[in-house]
Amino acid sequence: ETMEVTLKTEVEAGASGFSVTGGGNEGIFIKKVLKESPASKIFSLREGDQLLSATIFFDNIKYEDALKILQYSEPYRVQFSLKRKIAGKEELEHIHSAAQYKKERLTQ
């Protein structure tokens, strides 16, 4: 009997030492993990794990790399984490209602 669990790793730099397989509607799976690599030791990736999403942080990222990541991600589902400077209360209410509007659209 097997159970399915969804794991979330810690935030770390450089997930090297693994390869993936799959694609399309079957999903992306971890194919091979090198024993002493960050993928194994830090992220605890195991062969056969399905990779559901990857969050890449944009602090200290090279412009070219950020551009490439954004261009490649265009056809896929993405989620952004944003920091925004806002002026006053009216703008806060506007943002809140925009978020509400988006939620309603999604549930229809």
Q: Tell me how far apart the alpha carbons of residues 68 and 45 are, in angstroms, rounded to a whole number.
A: 25
Phi-psi domain of 36 (left: phi exceeds 0; alpha: psi -120 through 50; beta: other): alpha
Q: With a threshold of 0.85, does the pTM exceed it?
A: no
pLDDT along the chain (108 residues), means of 10: 91 92 96 95 94 95 97 95 83 74 68
Where in the chain are the domains? 18-83
Q: What is the dihedral of CA 54, 24, 77, 9, to 10 degrees?
A: -20
- 58 with 37: CB under 8 angstroms? no
Question: Which pair of structure tokens corresponds to residue 56?
Answer: 């890449």
Q: What is the dihedral of CA 41, 42, 46, 49, to 10 degrees?
A: 180
